[in-house]
Amino acid sequence: MSERRLLAVLALLMGLLGALLILLGFGLPRGNQDFLQWLGEIAVSGILALAAIVGSLLTYGGQYRVGGIVNLVIGVGLLILRESLAGSLLIVFSGILGLVAAASARPYPTR
């Protein structure tokens, strides 16, 4: 197994685990919380978690740079939204691993 393939598998697993943690963090609205605000937060978090799964699958499928950028942007967005810290950080690290896999895919220059 090549180095970039191993990095892609690790990025896939980290992205899937992070998205799962985000999706498991959903809860019912609290006593005086506005229902529409709660529904909007759940919808945005759910869409971002599903997009992180797609980004992880892109990384695993061989499009390392695209999947890495997608997961990095989504992870930072989830950190800004103050969602699950562990899930957001896993998605960010998944994006970083995707970008590292893209960098290792380049052949070394020959002299």
| pLDDT digits 0-9 by tens, 36-73 | 888 888 888 889 999 999 999 998 888 888 899 999 99
Alpha-carbon span 15 to 57, nearest angstrom: 9
Is residue 93 over pLDDT 90?
Answer: yes
Amino acid at 46: G
Alpha-carbon span 111 to 102, nearest angstrom: 22
The token duo for 101 is 């896999």
Alpha-carbon span 2 to 52, nearest angstrom: 24
Per the rule left: phi > 0, alpha: psi between -120 and 50, beta: everything else, 87 is alpha
Alpha-carbon span 89 to 31, nearest angstrom: 30
Is residue 106 over pLDDT 70?
Answer: no
Q: pLDDT band at residue 96, thresholds of 50, 70 and 90?
A: very high
